[in-house]
Amino acid sequence: MKPATVRVKCGGSDVARQLLQHCLACNGWTLAAVCCDQPTRAAAPIKWSPEDAKAPYRRRLENVEDPAWVESLPKLGERSEEE
């Protein structure tokens, strides 16, 4: 079986999300996206840190400083029309 990388579309380019994969069928470790004729899972979640260096860029991208964005958030105690 040829080793493969799990790839995710990110910003127009393919990026490897996680190289090491775990096969749930045989409990083995692999770099392949498929093992034992079943898809593999990422061996561990992507690391997260409270010191998020990219947070200011995401906030700017989502325009969270705009007062209209704040007004679009649901208010506590309000019921939506779907409920």
CATH of 7-72, one of 1.10.10, 2.20.28, 1.25.10, 3.30.780: 2.20.28
Tens of pLDDT along 7-44? Answer: 444 444 344 456 888 898 998 888 888 899 999 888 87
Whole-angstrom distance, CA of residue 28 vs CA of residue 34: 12
Tens of pLDDT along 41-63? Answer: 888 776 777 888 888 888 899 88
Whole-angstrom distance, CA of residue 49 vs CA of residue 28: 28
Whole-angstrom distance, CA of residue 3 vs CA of residue 37: 14
Whole-angstrom distance, CA of residue 23 vs CA of residue 6: 13
User: Quick one: pLDDT at residue 68?
Assistant: 92
Which token pair is 72? 């679009």
Q: Supply angle C-alpha 62, 65, 69, rounded to 5.
A: 65
- Residue ranges of domains in the chain: 7-72
The overall pTM is greater than 0.85: no
Of residues 6 and 51, the one with the higher pLDDT is 51
User: Quick one: pLDDT at residue 12?
Assistant: 42
